Structures are given as C-alpha cells and as structure tokens.
Structure 1
Amino acid sequence: MRSTNTKKKSADPKALPGGLSRKQQSILQKNGFAVTPATRFPKTVKPMLATLVDSPPGGNGWLYEVKWDGYRAVALCNHQQVNLISRNNKSFNDKFYPVYEALVQLDKNAVIDGEICVLNENGIAHFGALQNWRSEADGELAYYIFDLLWYEGRDLTGLPLTGRRALLEALIPPTGIIRYSESFDASPAKLLAATKKMGMEGIMAKKADSPYIQDRSRDWLKIKTNKRHEVVIGGFTNNEGSPKPFSSLLVGVYENGALHYTGKIGTGFNARQQKEMMEIFRKLIIKKCPFTETPDVNQPSRFRPNPPMATATWLKPELVCEVSYAEITGDGVMRHPSFEGMRTDKPAKTVTAEQPLETADILPGKKREKMVRLTKPVGKHSRKSLLNPSEATQVKQVNHHLLKFSNLGKKFWPTEGYTKRDMLNYYYQVAPFIIPYLLNRPQSLNRFPNGINGKSFYQKDITAVAPEWVKQFPYRTSEGEDKNYLVVEDEASLLWMANLGAIEMNPWNSTVQQPDNPDWCLIDLDPDKGNTFQQVIQTAQVVRQVLENLGVKSYPKTSGSTGIHIYIPLGAKYTYDQCQLFGKLIATAAHEQLPAFTSIERMTRNRKGCIYIDYLQNRPKATLAAPYSLRPKPGATVSMPLHWDEVRKGLKMTDFTIKNALERIKSEGDLFKPVLGRGVNLERLLKKFPVQI
C-alpha cells in the first residue's frame, strides 16, 4: 500500500480509536489492531488479485466466499472525503454515486476492498446489468466488502485475513447498500454446485491466515462455475446487407506484448448497446490489423459452410469486454462466445490468457461439508432515481419506450437549486401514487421549459409533437380544427410530458372511457390576497362539517399554492351538471356559515377580497393539480393529500415539497385512494336540499 509516510513505527499498544462500543474495541484488541504499524492515509491502493484454478481446494485453513460478478472497487474513506476507485485507479465516485454517497454517510477512516454489483430480487449479481447501469432505476446496487486494509492510522495488510475481516464486520451496519461479504464454513464442492445452480459466477477460496499482498497471489483462489474471460476488442465486422451497426466483434488477448486473436463474438448485445458501442468505435478506427495474424472473417465452418460475406474494420486495441464461452479450441479460439458487457475497470494491456491451474498442484486436501445460504434477497424497495446526477442528457427505457431526457442540469427552482433532473426523478419515484389520478385522463400541459421564473404557457394540443406511442384524445376547436389532448397511460407518458417542462399535472375530472361522468366532485378553496391561510383552514373545516352532516366522507389536499382542495368520490355515476349542482349546494351551505370572508361569486371583482369557494371546477374539460403533483411555486411545493386532523392551525403549504413528499407518502400511504372508490349516492343526498334534480 502506498503511503505519504515511508517510515513505519509501532503504535502505542494501548491506543484504540475513540467513539467505539466496548464490543468493537474488544474485537480490535483481540485481532491485533493495536500492534499494527502507524501510517498516514494512503493515496491509492493496488488490490490483491486471485489465481484462477479449476476446482476448489481441500484441507483446513480456507475461507470461502461468493465470487461477486461485478467491478472490483477500493474505497479510500477519510471520513466524509471518499474516493472510490477501480482496480486500475479510475474513479467510480460519479458512475456509482449511490455507493459513494453511502460511504460518505458511513463516515469511517478506513480503506476497504470490495466488489460493486447490481443484484436481482434474489440477490444474484449480474455483470450485464452492472455494465448497463446508469441510475438507480437500472437496478439495485450493492457494494460487497470483504477486506479492511487500513483503519484509523494503521496499516492492517500484515494481519491475517480472519483478523482483518473481524474488524471489518464490526464496523459495517447490518443493512444498507454496503454489505459484508460473508464467508462460509461449507464443502467447497457443494458451495460451487450451489452457486452454479443459482446462476452465480463462482466462489473465492482464501487462506485464513493470509496477509494482504498488492499483487496476484495463490493465497486467494477463484473457481468459476462457467468459462468467462476478459478480451480486448481489435475490430468489428459488417455482414453484407445487414442493417445492424456491426455484426460481430473481433477480439483477442495479449501475450508478450502482442495481441493474439481469440475469436469473434456475434451474440449477447442488443441494438441499443450496439449503437452506443459504435459511437465509441468510430473514434478508434485504424487501417492496420492490430492482431498478430489477420483473422479470416469469412472462414466457413461445419455449421455455416456458406457464411454471409463480411468486411472487417480495425480498431485501436484499447477497449475491453467480458465474454462467456463453451471452451477454448486447440488453436486458442473460443467456441460459442457471447458478449457479457464492456469492462471499463481494466486496462487493455493487462488482459492476458488466464488458464486455470490444477488445484491439486497447489493444495490437495479435503474439508468438512455443510450447505449454507449464499445470498441475501434484495426484496422490494421503494423507487429510487431514474436519472443519474452527472449526465446532462440521458436516454432511458421506460415501459419499452426509449425516452431522451435533456437539459437535466437546468435550474427549475433557482432559489432552492432544484433542477429539471430533480423534477423528473420525483415523478418517476411518485409514479405509482400519482398515475391512478392521471390514468386515461386528458391532460392540459402547463409548460415551464426554463423553470418557474421563465416564460410559461398552456398547451392542450400535442398532435404535432407527441411520438406515435403516446395515447391521444381528439377534440375540435371553436374554429373547427381537429386536435388532440395527451392521455396518460403509464410512466412513459407521464415522464414524456414532464420532460417538456410540464411541472404540474392537470388531469380532467373524468376519463376518456366516460368523458361526461366525473369520478369526483371537488371544492376548490381559493383565497384572495387579503385572506389568511388560517381562514382557508377554517373554511375547509366548515365544508367538511357540511358534508359530514349529510353522512358524506370527504378528502382534503393542499393545492400546493395558496388554497385547499376537497374531493368527494362519485364513481363516475353522474353527469357534470349533477356534480356541479351538488358542489354548488355544498359551497352555498359553507358560505352561509362564513359570510364575512367567503364568497361563491364567480367574478373576481364581486368577491370583495373573500375566499372563493369554487364549485365551477366541476365542469367538462376543467383541470386541477392532481394529488402528489409538483407546483411551479417557490419551494417546489406538492399538492399533498391530508388527514382531516392535519387541517388545523399551523398547517403550511411549504410543509410538503419535492424534498420530503416521498417520505411522507411512504409513511402515510395513499390517503386519496377512496376518491377513486364507489362514490356517494347523489340522488339520495340531493333530496335533503330544497333544490331537486
């Protein structure tokens, strides 16, 4: 390990780091921490590498771990100054930002070795998913840590592995994105069989008493369940008449400084990957073949006696990818290779032919047998970000549609610093809750392409701008023009709309299936400048009491601006005329109890500075901010459903914002869910009023 202090001196045997529990201090003392040499915080670390063998070792004195299918990563953690680096010293801080942020929160003075993975719901790591990972929406990241090299001013590399791991386990929380890679006291043969059955890459065998050596060592062994290898890309082919960017990759490995051809890879990549790879390839095209011998890309085989005519394009041998294959033939060429993913963590010059050694030649023996649980299932997690924090333009697949998100760093709320990226991530995370109130409803877009302080405009017609897959609902203008509303069907259409700068979501009260029958009746409490929010609260409480006297349950939410919205479920059983009449009766009854500062006058000049109890929103094509919608207001407020006992003195619009809304929803659930329920019996209710329908 490199250090800024070349002199190592013995530490005070009694000196232990402060702030630890008695148990942690005991583990440190027991495992020799106090007698390790004192050194300054290292600038970088070259990780210890394992030797590939063909079968598990036997004998005692070995620890067995899962071989995680990911990127090797060393975390240099100087408390909250963290540098997460690859095995070739490239930064992973931005690329795998959730791991970096978790290490910052961990706040340790330590150097940790581990593997970054993307896990499926069963806890199985998959390298292809990791290679395509751009944000938390692409999969569940985990940083499996298995070694502690330095801690609180002391170099631990000379301690036995068991001691280092005991210290490491004591320092790491039991849950979270940073996970301790457990070792198993089990039959290595059965362990390997279990990993193969579960679709894992293999196992690691490590000598329990091994020091940490910054080089390849036979104290650490890797045993794979299938044949996989890194290879260097030296070119690609194009088959005659093929519409694909390329047909196959031409790859090889280095031997004595020369690149030897090992085959061509024609499967394992999708159209999107090919397109992205070609963008990189174009910058590396060369005229001369980089392999020691020029491959015959049109060579017939037993199964393809007449292959399509192909042309080869050569590349500077700088790119590394991982490949799985059936076997290596006698002339060193892979059989049935398949692309697994690009490797940005390994320099091309280090990729050599890695032949498994005979384990019996290293360490013969046998170990007692016991099966174990290998992985911890990921389980169901709440949604995290769709878009990563660094790239200004990102393309994501949502509901099988490719969406291009642009200008992501633009400040949509300049005072608070919230960006377009923050807005889109919010709508992705809140989608399961907001979509029920948008689903199959025409939308009126309120667009703020330059944020809340920029010019805004309303847009109903999306005929000329929407992609083919976006659902539309026709309407005719007063001038006789045929146009189309946007209709939300899923997350993709929600995010496409938000990407246009539509900060708030404004759906109809009815769906395209029953456009003349609203799902709810609503009362919109809209204060004037002279009103206090306490008066709005008082008005809402009176509206609630009027409804409760009729035996009707109602559901309030903040508007996210200055008012409060109150919804009554109707179940799409009545017309807009019936709905509006009911709303008018409720508004009138509430106004009669609060005549001093409320009004039901439609004309602003006739309200005389009073709170408008608006029932006229119950009309065809009218829209209102949906539950959980952001609002283009200072603070990035959210229209948040409330418990009625929260509608009291002290409630503020700024209580619910883009920063805390999701935590609130996780805690309280969807309070507005009954609004989409069966609904009230309007005929029976209207009989209680003097006006009849």
Structure 2
Amino acid sequence: MKPMLPSLTFEVPKGNDWLYEVKYDGFRAILHWDHNEMSLISRNGKPLLNIFPEICSFLEANKEKLKPYLPLTFDGELVFLENAYKSQFSTIQVRGRMRSLSRIAEKAKASPCHLLIFDVLKIKGKPLKNEDYLSRKKTLYDFFKKCNLPLMPDEMNTKLVQYIPFFNDFNEIWEKVVLFNGEGIVAKQKTNKWEEGKRTTLWLKYKNWKYVSCFITAYEKTNGYFYVSVYQDNMVISIGQFIFGLKPDEKKALFEIIKANKTDEDNKYIYVEPAICVEVKYLELYEGQMREPHFHQFRFDLSPNDCTYHQFIQKQKNFPSDIDVTHPDKPLWAEPSIQKIDYIHYLQEISPYMLPFLKNRLLTVIRYPHGIFGDPFYQKNCPEYAPEFVETEMSDEINYIICNQLKTLLWLGNQLAFEFHIPFQTTLSKGPSEIVFDLDPPSRDAFGLAIKAALLIKEIFEQLELISFIKTSGNKGLQIYLPLPENTYTYDETRLFTAFIAQYLVTKDPASFTIERMKKNRGNRLYVDYIQHAEGKTIIAPYSPRGTKEATVAAPLYWEEVNEHLKVENFQIPQMIKRIHNKGNPFHTYFEAKEKQKFGPILEILRNKNLPSL
C-alpha cells in the first residue's frame, strides 16, 4: 500500500476547513496487523519491524488489550523523539542503516524509537479510507483512549505507540513547533478522504525553515545545482547545494553570471571565487550539510566576508520573539570554549530531558553574570523584571520561579543561570517525590570512594528489588535516585531508609565512609549525608550545568558506566547532546519507575526493625 502524501506549501493554509498536526521527521510507516501477522512497512515498501524490534515487542506485549480491534491498519511516522514537537532525523537514519542484530537490540533498549499514529485506514476489519478526516481521527482517538495509550507524543513515555492529535488554531501549534525546533506542520482539510499513493493538496506541509547567508562557489553542469559555502577562519566551508526555489529567469541569470566570472571549469563543474551572496532556507544540518535547501533571495547588500560559519551556527535554533538573547558572543567558559549562544543552544536541546525534573519544583539557581570568570550568586526570589510568562509560587515568603516551560528555561539561560537546584518534592506533593543519596567525597581525587559507595548501594537495592538511577553531581561526587510515587511517603519515613543505608555503608567499610557531621573529624572518608534528604533541602537537577572550570554537567549514567574508568570531567556541555543521541537517556524510564517501586514492604520492615540480612 502506497501512502497518501502531502504537498509542500510556502503559504500558511488558513480557514475553518483546515486542521493542523505536527509534522515529524522519520520513516513514514503503515502498520498492518491481522489476527495472525503483523507488519510495519515503509513508504518504499521496506519492512521495518526487524530494524525496530522495540515496536514489535511493545505491540506483542499489549496484544490482549489490542486484540478486539484486529484486523487494523494505521498510518504513522516511525521516529526518534527529541521532544513532543520534534524528532531527531540523524538518529532514525543511523538506526535505519543498522544490520547487526546485537547492535540493533542494544539501541532498541537504550534509545527506543516511537511509532506515532496520525490516521486509521482499517479497524476491527472495517475499512475507513473513504470516511472523512474528522471521523477517522475520532475513531483513532477513541482507540488510543480505550487502550490507555498516549494521546500525544511524549519522548519520556515507554508506551511506544502514541497518537498525533490535531489542532484548530495554527498559531497555537506553530509557536510550539518553532520553540521546540520542530520540522513543521501538516494542514489537513476536515473532509479529506485517504487516497492511496496520491500526493494531494488536501494535505499541505508547511515547514519550519532556517535561513543562512552564504556565497556560491560552483555550478554543477550535469544537474544544475549551485554549491554554496561560508567562511570559517578564512577557510571556505561547504554547507550544501540548492536548485529549488529559483524562478526560471533567476536561474538563467545566475548561471550567466557564474559562466562570465568563472575561475576554472572541468567536465562536471564551473567554479567561481566567493562573490555572489544568497540567502538559502533549509530544515536542519545533517552530517555538516543543509537538508532540503531552497533558494530564498539574493543578498546584494552582503559581501562574502559577512557569510561566516559562526553566524550560520548561531541561526540554527529558532527562538521565540519574546526571548532576546543579549551578548550572544560573550565568553562563559575558556576550556572548553563556550559562548553565551552556545550555552543557550545547549539549554534548548537538553530541555526535553531536563524540564521534566524541573516541572512544578521551587527553583533555586546560581547565576554567573561574568561567566566562570567572575563571582556567582544564588537566586531564589524571582526578580521583578521577569517577563509575564515566567510562573512563580510563594513559599516561606519567597517568590520562587517554577520552570515548567522552555521559554522560562531560555530566559534563565539568558540571565546566565548555570546551576538549577530543586527540592526533593513537587509543589503538588505532600512528601518526597524521590529519595536521593548524595555521595560526596572529600575531593575529586577521592572520586573512587563515590564509585565504591555507589556500587555497594546498588548491590543492596538489587537485593531489595528497588529501581535506582544514578548521575554525576557534575562536581566531585555521584547521586543515586530512588523514584517514589507521589503523595505516598513522608520525610520521616524515608529517613528510616536513608539512615539504614548510611549505617550499612559505615559498618561495611568504616575506613572509607562516615556519617560524621564535623568536617575536621571525617579525615579522607566519604561523608554519607543521609540528613540532607529533607524538606526544604535541594539537589542539582539532572542535566543541569555546573559552575566548574570544565563546564561539567550533572549527567545521568547507566549503571554499567559506574566503574574505575568513570570521571566527572568527561561529561561536559559540548558533548551531552551527542552522548544522548549515541547512547540514549539513562533516565528515560525514571517516571514510569515511580509507580513500580516496591518501597512499601521495605519501609514496613524498617518500621518493625526487622532488618534484612545484607
């Protein structure tokens, strides 16, 4: 079955007969499932389930729940979700090229992809292609709701088959697509029918273009492509080639200019010196080249020296109109070299992984107005000059910032907030939302003590069947998390457990660990601060930068990474996004674990002082 395809538009389709869906960048996929066989087929007719076994496993695991709806045929997009409005093109491309079964299995576990469904062609064996769009969407929504599957894309949700909703208001959804750097939207007429293999004007794709000023360096005679580049330190850096977007007269004139000013020519190319400046729009960078570049306009007001790689990179991210990044070139760290715009880009890219931990938490930040080169200060109270979109909540006469949205995070980044510290509970919870063990050695040279303590604690947790997560502190220690269900336990109850674990470590290895509060009495031992886990106390948030000279991050880890080779300084701002794309997010099942945590029976044992033999 060939899928129905949207047509590209450069004008926003508006009117009461149009509805809007987020467009995700992945592999178009049609799911067929009858009582005996399941298949997931790409736009080009290629099978996908063998390359993405996590989708197959999820569906098989939920077969009993879904069985009443078979046979079914769904239309969707197979993606690696970066956030609710953007998928990561490069990651899905790498997955699609994999052939090693062991490597595929490893990726499927560490970085699972999602199947996002936007249309239904058959359900319970009944064909729906000839029903109108709104009727099909209602049927699809009812299916997802009854089957308790996600009703909108969610990168943190381990239910891998999710629904793509529609929106009535273009501006509402477009603002989010731009803010989260998504690919674009698909506008669909309410009454459209699903037409197999047709590129239709009843579906229109409107893309979230980026723009770059560049200069032409060559013309390819065999296909008519114009090659463009930018300068980086006086070197010419190729960024791609374009052919689309030029009117016939513009294309002819440009060719004549290149031909008249050529510096060299061979069988394939005509070459020119940097001189002709143009503005090109494109989707994103992929392997150093522009994806889907289109000519936008000539830039006769620019010289080639204005077309730099630096400005190209700066414009990679779209920022909301009410976020004005001031002094983007301001140096914040020396080694690695990080400017303010680099830092803001980090916060935007890390936001899908960091914001869930900031949500509904009273936020304390440490600001570095002069970067790492000057003195920092703590900020709890929201300043009076904060924009209206910044949410706040009063607690103990302090008006705390609540960072529930990307715009607030970007604004805080522009205020040069480097560290994001959060309490152990949300504003909606009456008790701790998690237990955190802060393993803080006396110095970074003694980091091995934190590793030793973490592995001993991990052994205990495995015996007790507790689900734990670990991250670096970003400074000199490690922090172990036990997610807990909300509004279930008190701090007095969790203190029984933290005290028990601390006492166990000290008993196990008194030469390495201590619960001594006085620093002068600790010697070179690691202090197990079980008292720190209390109401009003805070911990550095996962993925938060730290104000260290190495630009380190409080980085979530996989437990197998916790060994003698682990170093805090290996997790720095410039490498974190690449790490997630390559290795996945170690905390991606964190919130799911809250409801699975078997903490109640352990607490009951501690209450009765009938401690297990460890």
Provide TM-score, normalisation by structure 1. 0.46
Match of 1:589 among 477, 497, 504: 504
Question: Is 1:458 the counterpart of 2:378 in the alignment?
Answer: yes
Q: Structure 1 pair 388/627, CA: closer, same or farther in 2 (3 Å)?
A: farther
Question: Deviation string for 1:337-381 (max 9, x for gaps)?
Answer: xxxxx9672479xxxxxxxxxxxxxxxxxxxxxxxxxxxxxxxxx
Q: Report the counterpart of residue 240 of structure 2 in structure 1.
A: 178
Q: Structure 1 pair 494/343, CA: closer, same or farther in 2 (3 Å)?
A: same
List aligned pairs for 1:411-450, cutoff 5 A.
411-450=331-370
2:476 alignment partner, SS class: coil
Checking the alignment, whether the CA contact within 8 Å between 2:344 and 2:414 is kept in structure 1 is yes
Question: Is 1:522 the counterpart of 2:436 in the alignment?
Answer: yes
Question: Is 1:544 the counterpart of 2:455 in the alignment?
Answer: no
Question: Deviation string for 1:91-111 (max 9, x for gaps)?
Answer: xxxxxxxxxxxxxxxxxxxxx
Q: Structure 1 pair 68/216, CA: closer, same or farther in 2 (3 Å)?
A: farther
Q: Report the counterpart of residue 688 of structure 1 in structure 2.
A: 605
Cα displacement (A) at 1:667: 1.9
Q: Structure 1 pair 646/346, CA: closer, same or farther in 2 (3 Å)?
A: same
Cα displacement (A) at 1:673: 2.9
List aligned pairs for 1:253-268, cutoff 5 A.
none
Question: Is 1:624 the counterpart of 2:578 in the alignment?
Answer: no
Instruction: State the one-letter code of the partner of 2:386.
Output: A
Q: Structure 1 pair 177/577, CA: closer, same or farther in 2 (3 Å)?
A: farther
Question: Deviation string for 1:54-98 (max 9, x for gaps)?
Answer: xxxxxxxxxxxx9998xxxxxxxxxxxxxxxxxxxxxxxxxxxxx
Checking the alignment, whether the CA contact within 8 Å between 1:534 and 1:649 is kept in structure 2 is yes
Cα displacement (A) at 1:618: 1.7
Question: Is 1:633 the counterpart of 2:548 in the alignment?
Answer: yes
Distance 1:568 1:202 in 2: 60
List aligned pairs for 1:274-353, cutoff 5 A.
345-346=299-300
Distance 2:491 2:182 in 1: 50
Distance 1:142 1:530 in 2: 44
List aligned pairs for 1:400-415, cutoff 5 A.
402-415=322-335
List aligned pairs for 1:218-229, cutoff 5 A.
none
List aligned pairs for 1:366-385, cutoff 5 A.
none
Checking the alignment, whether the CA contact within 8 Å between 1:584 and 1:615 is kept in structure 2 is yes
1:445 alignment partner, SS class: strand
2:438 alignment partner, SS class: strand
Q: Structure 1 pair 168/404, CA: closer, same or farther in 2 (3 Å)?
A: closer
2:505 alignment partner, SS class: helix
Checking the alignment, whether the CA contact within 8 Å between 2:474 and 2:568 is kept in structure 1 is yes
Q: Structure 1 pair 504/165, CA: closer, same or farther in 2 (3 Å)?
A: same
Cα displacement (A) at 1:202: 6.3
Cα displacement (A) at 1:521: 0.4
Distance 1:681 1:591 in 2: 25
Question: Deviation string for 1:443-466 (max 9, x for gaps)?
Answer: 111111111231111111115232
Q: Report the counterpart of residue 478 of structure 2 in structure 1.
A: 564
Q: Structure 1 pair 177/490, CA: closer, same or farther in 2 (3 Å)?
A: farther
1:444 alignment partner, SS class: strand
Instruction: State the one-letter code of the partner of 1:442.
Output: L
List aligned pairs for 1:238-253, cutoff 5 A.
none
Q: Which has the higher helix share?
A: 2
Instruction: State the one-letter code of the partner of 2:482.
Output: I
Distance 1:506 1:166 in 2: 51
Distance 1:205 1:405 in 2: 36
Checking the alignment, whether the CA contact within 8 Å between 2:183 and 2:208 is kept in structure 1 is no
Instruction: State the one-letter code of the partner of 1:603.
Output: M
Cα displacement (A) at 1:691: 5.5
Cα displacement (A) at 1:387: 8.9
Cα displacement (A) at 1:123: 11
Checking the alignment, whether the CA contact within 8 Å between 2:317 and 2:345 is kept in structure 1 is no
Q: Structure 1 pair 686/453, CA: closer, same or farther in 2 (3 Å)?
A: same
Instruction: State the one-letter code of the partner of 2:377.
Output: F
Distance 1:67 1:664 in 2: 34
Question: Deviation string for 1:418-444 (max 9, x for gaps)?
Answer: 222221111011111111111111111
Q: Structure 1 pair 387/498, CA: closer, same or farther in 2 (3 Å)?
A: farther
Cα displacement (A) at 1:525: 0.4
Q: Report the counterpart of residue 581 of structure 2 in structure 1.
A: 666
1:654 alignment partner, SS class: helix
Checking the alignment, whether the CA contact within 8 Å between 1:526 and 1:564 is kept in structure 2 is yes
Question: Is 1:139 the counterpart of 2:209 in the alignment?
Answer: yes
Q: Structure 1 pair 469/204, CA: closer, same or farther in 2 (3 Å)?
A: same
Question: Deviation string for 1:94-131 (max 9, x for gaps)?
Answer: xxxxxxxxxxxxxxxxxxxxxxxx9964899xxxxxxx
1:609 alignment partner, SS class: coil
Checking the alignment, whether the CA contact within 8 Å between 1:530 and 1:609 is kept in structure 2 is no
Instruction: State the one-letter code of the partner of 1:424.
Output: I
1:429 alignment partner, SS class: helix
1:532 alignment partner, SS class: helix
Question: Deviation string for 1:297-341 (max 9, x for gaps)?
Answer: xxxxxxxxxxxxxxxxxxxxxxxx9xxxxxxxxxxxxxxxxxxxx
Question: Deviation string for 1:170-197 (max 9, x for gaps)?
Answer: xxxxxx9625648xxxxxxxxxxxxxxx
Match of 1:601 among 516, 519, 530: 516
Instruction: State the one-letter code of the partner of 1:345.
Output: R
Distance 1:448 1:144 in 2: 35
Distance 1:692 1:420 in 2: 53
Distance 2:509 2:431 in 1: 31
Cα displacement (A) at 1:403: 1.6
Distance 1:644 1:215 in 2: 58
Checking the alignment, whether the CA contact within 8 Å between 1:531 and 1:611 is kept in structure 2 is no
2:323 alignment partner, SS class: strand
Distance 1:403 1:538 in 2: 44
2:500 alignment partner, SS class: helix
2:506 alignment partner, SS class: helix
Cα displacement (A) at 1:142: 8.2
Question: Is 1:485 the counterpart of 2:400 in the alignment?
Answer: yes
Q: Report the counterpart of residue 78 of structure 2 in structure 1.
A: none
Distance 1:616 1:346 in 2: 66
Q: Structure 1 pair 464/603, CA: closer, same or farther in 2 (3 Å)?
A: farther
Distance 1:520 1:501 in 2: 28
Q: Report the counterpart of residue 3 of structure 1 in structure 2.
A: none
Checking the alignment, whether the CA contact within 8 Å between 2:444 and 2:476 is kept in structure 1 is no
Checking the alignment, whether the CA contact within 8 Å between 2:498 and 2:530 is kept in structure 1 is yes
